């Protein structure tokens, strides 16, 4: 096993490669394979291979496809633009300066992850439409902006930009502290050193996070469905969902459309790879770095106002709107004292179903976070530090689910795991949801761990090997600790999304098993909007508090270790 120092890190990756490849095959490739098969063989569901390709050709030849594809691209790019506009300045400010109330803004910007997008869309509709909460309070409404294509983009950017904010603020912090200081020493002004050094070196983070936003946007169903349908703006994912949820059902058509969506995401992924391979972005060397943030001086007030403005749009207003509907006895009663009360919350506590759904979702969310986190770290390591052609396949495979709409993953999973010849199957047990969520969310930890691994120089591991550590020890003691912050962030994201996932859960949940999102959806379906919103509010609070407690605990622990290390 002795090889040159330049290739250190590759040896440990071999085991990781096989573990990762095996798991990805079962979790991602298997359902994806069945999606491809059903696109080709329309009658696969009943076990027949008749009339291959007939449907695929029909779907691809449909002129509607061009419209859906164009709208999807437009929405993805527009949302990425708005998200970059919101996130990059905030992330740079947060990373390089002493922003007042910095932790409070971090917390507020964490919450959009916990708000299910369809709930956020509904709360914005109830706030901005004529006679909505805003008109009840101020006499004005913004229905014109809300029900428009830019409106949808802004709303989706508000849901997704925190991804960029959190990845970038960490990247800027790492880069800014040392490298731009060097620039300053050589006479560059603060702007120049940011634009010429910090910003370019942060490219992997920017590319990775914006790619995530793009993939999340083209895959997201709730917001375009709630807002776009009214103005006739259909995207691929709503087209797919319509084919799966409107009778007569068209599974092959939905599968064919999702293949188009997967191609779109793969294209975005190639762009990201191209950006990353052009240069070397390794910035984490062995030397300890003290992060010295600059004071804002006169700019403190405007910067605080900017943070307050963006966080109120992203978090405060939607959460207040959710609370307002949860406290309203009836929707038509509006925000009048007589109509407000805790009835919905007491009904939520008194009916057993709500608490059970909460417990189910939290358990599933935590298990998915752990499982996807571990698998994601292993996969990212195999991709970044491994060798061979197949690691690109692994990389592409780990990204594929990001482009598969939840409803299609659900169909693929049912087809794959409900085959009559299987001796035993997780189908119709809660485990099937763990499989579905892991499949859907695996791209997040892989992306995050990937971006942080890109920045770790090989010499750190090489040093460990020289000192006698085996590949596994080097990974556990050197690489993993450096990756941990990024990985934890992604696991929190996975937890948040898994505990509120709707579209796949609705289709694939075992009979009689309710998750938070399914519970909320059923309340809406019965016309109990207030009860659904009460559940949504409790879920947001709980899913925010759990990661916060975890972060607090880790910070408290790592402080002790950090001291002992120095």
Partner 1 sequence: MKIHFLAAILAVAAGTAQADVTVYSAGPGGLIKSLAAGFAEKTGIKTNVFQATTGKVMARLEAEASNPVADVVISASWGTATQFAEEGLLLDYDSPNAATVPDYLKIPGAVAQGVAGLVIAWNPTSGTPKPADWGDLTKPEYKDLVTLPDPAASGGTYTLVEAFVANGMTDVLQGLADNGAIVAGANKAALNPVLQGAKAGVFAGVDYITMGAAAKGESIEAIFPASGTVVAPRPMMILKSTRNEADAKAFYDYVLSEEGQAMVAKVFLMPSRTDIKADRPLIGDLKLLSAEGAPARDEVLATFAGIFK
Listed as own residue / partner, the contacts of 293-297 with beta carbons closer than 8 Å and 24 or more positions apart are 293/95, 293/96, 293/97, 293/98, 294/96, 294/97, 294/98, 295/97, 295/98, 296/97, 296/98, 296/99, 296/100
Task: In angstroms, give the least distance from the CB of 58 to partner 1.
Answer: 14
Stretch of 39-47, 55-63, 176-184, 457-465 contacting partner 1, by CB under 8 A: 39-47
- Considering only residues 229 to 248 of the shown chain, the ones binding partner 1 according to CB under 8 A are 229-230, 232, 242, 244-248
Asked whether position 126 contacts partner 1 by CB under 8 A, the answer is yes
Label residue 371 exposed, middle or buried (CB < 10 Å: 0-12, 13-18, 19+).
buried
Cβ nearer to partner 1, comparing 6 with 51: 51
Q: Write each residue from 503 to 542 as x if it is in contact with partner 1 (CB under 8 A), else as -, in one continuous string.
A: ---xx-x-xx---------x-xxxxxx-------------
Distance CA 175, CA 137 (A): 45
Rank residues 366 and 431 by Cβ distance to partner 1 and give the closer one: 431
Helical H runs in 226-250? Answer: 236-245
* Token pair recorded at residue 236: 């691929």
Residue with smaller CB distance to partner 1, 383 or 433: 433
Q: Which helix (H) or strand (E) holds 229?
A: none
In terms of CB distance, is 226 or 260 closer to partner 1? Answer: 226
Applying CB under 8 A, does 425 fall inside the site for partner 1? yes
Q: Closer to partner 1 by CB, 128 or 210: give it.
A: 128
Distance CA(416)–CA(434), nearest Å, equals: 15
By CB under 8 A, tell whether 415 contacts partner 1: yes
Angle CA(501)–CA(507)–CA(513) in degrees, nearest 5? 75
Q: Does 131 bind partner 1 (CB under 8 A)?
A: yes
Site string for partner 1, 250-279 (x = CB under 8 A): -x----------------------------
Angle between helices 54-61 and 63-96 (to 10 degrees): 70
Q: Which stretch in 124-132, 178-186, 197-205, 385-393 sits in contact with partner 1 by CB under 8 A?
A: 124-132
- Tell whether residue 323 is a contact of partner 1 (CB under 8 A): no
Token representation of residue 168: 């970038």
Is residue 81 at the binding interface for partner 1, with CB under 8 A as the rule? no
Closest-CA residue to 107 (of 315, 264, 409, 256): 315
Q: What do you get for the CA distance between the two ends of the chain, in Å?
A: 33
Tell whether residue 420 is a contact of partner 1 (CB under 8 A). Answer: yes
Binding mask 368-407 for partner 1 (x = CB under 8 A): ------x--------------------------------x
Among 29, 56, 226, 397, binds partner 1 (CB under 8 A): 226
Q: Which is nearer to partner 1, 154 or 435 (CB)?
A: 435
Among 212, 411, 496, 497, binds partner 1 (CB under 8 A): 411
What token pair was written down for 335? 């925000």
SS3 for 284?
strand
Listed in sequence order, the DSSP H helices in 418-457 are: 431-441, 443-454
Nearest distance from C-beta of residue 245 to partner 1, angstroms: 4
3-class SS string, 26-86 = HHHHHHHHHHHHHHHCCCHHHCCCCCCCHHHHHHHHCHHHHHHHHHHHHHHHHHHHHHHHH
- Can you tell me which of 1, 2, 4, 46 binds partner 1, judged by CB under 8 A? 46
Chain residues that interact with partner 1, rule: CB under 8 A: 19, 22-23, 26, 45-47, 122, 125-126, 129-132, 143, 225-226, 229-230, 232, 242, 244-249, 251, 329-334, 374, 407, 411, 414-415, 418-420, 424-426, 428-429, 431, 506-507, 509, 511-512, 522, 524-529
């Amino acid at each position: 096993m002795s090889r040159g120092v330049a290739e250190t890190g590759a040896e440990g990756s071999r085991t990781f490669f096989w573990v990762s490849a095996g798991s990805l095959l079962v979790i991602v490739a298997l359902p994806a394979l069945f999606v491809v098969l059903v696109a080709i063989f329309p009658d696969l569901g009943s076990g027949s291979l008749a009339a291959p390709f007939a449907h695929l050709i029909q779907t691809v030849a449909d002129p509607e496809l061009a419209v859906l594809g164009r709208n999807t691209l437009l929405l993805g790019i527009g949302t990425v633009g708005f998200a970059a506009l919101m996130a990059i300045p905030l992330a740079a400010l947060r990373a390089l300066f002493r922003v007042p109330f910095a932790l409070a803004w971090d917390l507020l910007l964490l919450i959009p992850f916990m708000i299910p997008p369809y709930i956020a869309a509904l709360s914005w509709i109830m706030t901005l439409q004529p006679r909505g909460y805003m008109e009840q309070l101020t006499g004005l409404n913004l229905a014109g902006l809300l029900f428009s294509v830019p409106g949808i983009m802004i709303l989706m950017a508000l849901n997704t930009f925190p991804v960029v904010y959190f990845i970038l603020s960490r990247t800027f912090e790492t880069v800014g502290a040392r490298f731009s200081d060097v620039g300053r020493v050589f006479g560059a002004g603060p702007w120049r050193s940011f634009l010429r050094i910090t910003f370019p070196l942060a490219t992997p983070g920017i590319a990775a996070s914006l790619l995530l936003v793009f993939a999340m946007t083209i895959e997201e169903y709730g917001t375009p469905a709630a807002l776009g349908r009214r103005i006739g703006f259909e995207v691929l994912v709503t087209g797919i969902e319509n084919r799966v949820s409107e009778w007569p059902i068209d599974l092959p058509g939905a599968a064919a459309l999702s293949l188009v969506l997967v191609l779109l995401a793969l294209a975005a992924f190639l762009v990201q790879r191209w950006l990353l391979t052009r240069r070397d972005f390794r910035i984490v060397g062995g030397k300890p770095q003290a992060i010295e943030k600059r004071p804002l001086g006169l700019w403190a007030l405007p910067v605080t106002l900017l943070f307050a403005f963006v966080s109120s749009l992203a978090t405060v207003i939607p959460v207040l709107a959710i609370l307002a509907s949860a406290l309203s006895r009836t929707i038509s009663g509006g925000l009048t004292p007589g109509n407000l009360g805790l009835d919905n919350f007491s009904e939520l506590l008194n009916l057993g179903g709500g608490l059970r759904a909460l417990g189910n979702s939290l358990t599933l969310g935590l298990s998915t976070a752990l499982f996807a986190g571990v698998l994601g770290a292993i996969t990212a390591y195999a991709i970044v530090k491994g060798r061979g052609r197949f690691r690109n396949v692994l990389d592409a495979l780990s990204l594929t689910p990001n482009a598969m709409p939840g409803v299609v993953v659900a169909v693929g999973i049912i087809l794959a795991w409900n085959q009559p010849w299987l001796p035993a199957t997780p189908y119709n047990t809660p485990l099937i949801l763990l499989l579905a969520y892991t499949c859907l969310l695996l791209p997040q930890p892989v992306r995050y761990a990937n971006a942080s691994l890109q920045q770790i120089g090989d010499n750190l591991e090489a040093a460990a090997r020289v000192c006698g550590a085996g590949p596994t020890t080097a990974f556990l003691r050197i690489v993993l600790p450096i990756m941990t912050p990024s990985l934890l962030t992604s696991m929190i994201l996975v937890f948040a999304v898994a505990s509120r996932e709707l579209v796949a859960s609705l289709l694939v949940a075992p009979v009689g098993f309710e998750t938070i999102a399914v519970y909320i959806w059923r309340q809406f379906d019965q016309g109990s909007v207030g009860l659904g919103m009460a559940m949504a509010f409790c879920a947001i609070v709980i899913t925010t508090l759990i990661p916060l407690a975890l972060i607090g605990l880790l910070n408290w622990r790592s402080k002790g270790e950090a001291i002992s290390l120095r």
